[in-house]
Amino acid sequence: MPASDKLIQALNQQVGNEMQASLQYISLAHYFDNETLLTLSRFFHKQAEEERVHAMKFVDFLADLDAELRIPAMPEIPFGFQSVEDGVARALDWEKKVTAQIHNLMHLAIEEKHLLAQQFLEWFINEQQEEENVMSSLLAVVRRAGPERLLDVEAFLVRENWVAEGAPPA
């Protein structure tokens, strides 16, 4: 079943959304690097790469649909954070925003009865649940540690193997 122009446009928009998420994580990784929190920096660099991989999944899906790729312009990426907690809280907000975007895409695929798109988006729905859980857990750890014990947060990332994998084991 061919995809409608509306669905193709929404999929293209999601390519941009995923790339924007990647760049947001790069800005956050840079902040942590400047704060000499190198484990947090590595964690968010890995998150940035994961978002780029997500964008490429959408690019490949558009190719599978024989649809044209049109990546939209992105707004300026925020730089500068008030604190570690602020940065991680923003990361959680970004993940919630991406989750809403994926849910909206799924609703459109259901509305248009495009079963292939629905099947494709199922993976992203599960992935977003995991991403929100990771950021929510990290934010809780950052809040518990407070600004005086950020090295404990870094140790937590290593201990839980989140840095090596970019996310906790499934």
All structural domains of the chain? 5-165 (1.20.1260.10)
Residues 6+ apart with CB under 8 A from 84: 32, 35, 37, 40, 142, 147, 150, 153
Name the percent of the chain lying above pLDDT 90: 88
pLDDT along the chain (170 residues), means of 10: 93 97 96 96 96 98 97 87 96 96 98 97 96 96 95 93 57
- Taking alpha carbons only, the member of 63, 62, 71 closest to residue 8 is 62
Tens of pLDDT, residues 112-158: 999 999 999 999 999 999 999 999 999 999 999 999 999 999 999 99
- pTM, two decimal places: 0.91
Angle at 22 between CA 91 and CA 8, to 5 degrees: 110
The Cα-based distances of 48 to 24, 68, 106, 150, 159 in angstroms read 8, 25, 23, 21, 21
